Structure 1
Amino acid sequence: MRKNSIKNTRINGEVQRELSNIIRGEIKDPRINPLTSVVAVEVAPDLKTCKAYISVLGDEESQAKTLAGLKSAEGFIRSKLAKTVNLRNTPEIRFVLDQSIEYGVKMSKMIDEVTKDIKSEDDAEE
């Protein structure tokens, strides 16, 4: 199975949906931020490993605590995933902090500041 085959894409989507349901509804760890979302999932073609990209809305301390909570609950998450997603092998999950949303918001604010400065200069010239 190729890395970006249709089957692998469907598996990635299904695992992502189930992971987000498990994290949102079934984990009771207080370290995990309630505003945690699964951005993307990459399941290896042999179904042995899986990278789950996690986005956490909050400061760096909250992100670190959430990542630690998810790593400690990995066995529980994997067993729940095995019950809901019917795969030959249940992948070993590795959680990776994804900061692309945070980066995008930061860039958007910077662009807004620059355009606001340009508009105020144009208004001053008139």
Structure 2
Amino acid sequence: MLFAGSDFRFESNISKKYRDDEPPNGFGQYLFAAVIMNHPSIEYFRHTGITYRGMNLSSIELSQYVPDARILTRSFLSTSKCIDTAFLYLQFDNPSLRPVLCVYRINQSYTSLAIRELSAIQGEDEVLIV
């Protein structure tokens, strides 16, 4: 039995470089994250709730943050269920940086993983936002 594929190709006016029969360039990390987050074995690690992250930002970086805004992460973001863990990452002795405690309210379980058992540093109660 012989199966023949279609010679139809999607064409878009958005980008003349796009072809539906080739993997997209520059999207590897997003595809990787999508595969991980949608794999059935990940269900156990999914998380909703409040997490914390301690960061040290310049005044310019801090001005880009908006309270109560939704965020789009372009990489994996490490947070903790424990506020005390987040405080460990704050620097109060650097005058050019401001210590900032970020509070994340995660409503959709497919956007984060509670990886306490897998974390490199035990006891942090780490949640990875993807």
| Length-normalised TM-score, structure 2 | 0.22
Q: Which has the higher contact order (CA 8 A, sep 6+)?
A: 2
Structure that is richer in helix per residue: 1
| Length-normalised TM-score, structure 1 | 0.22
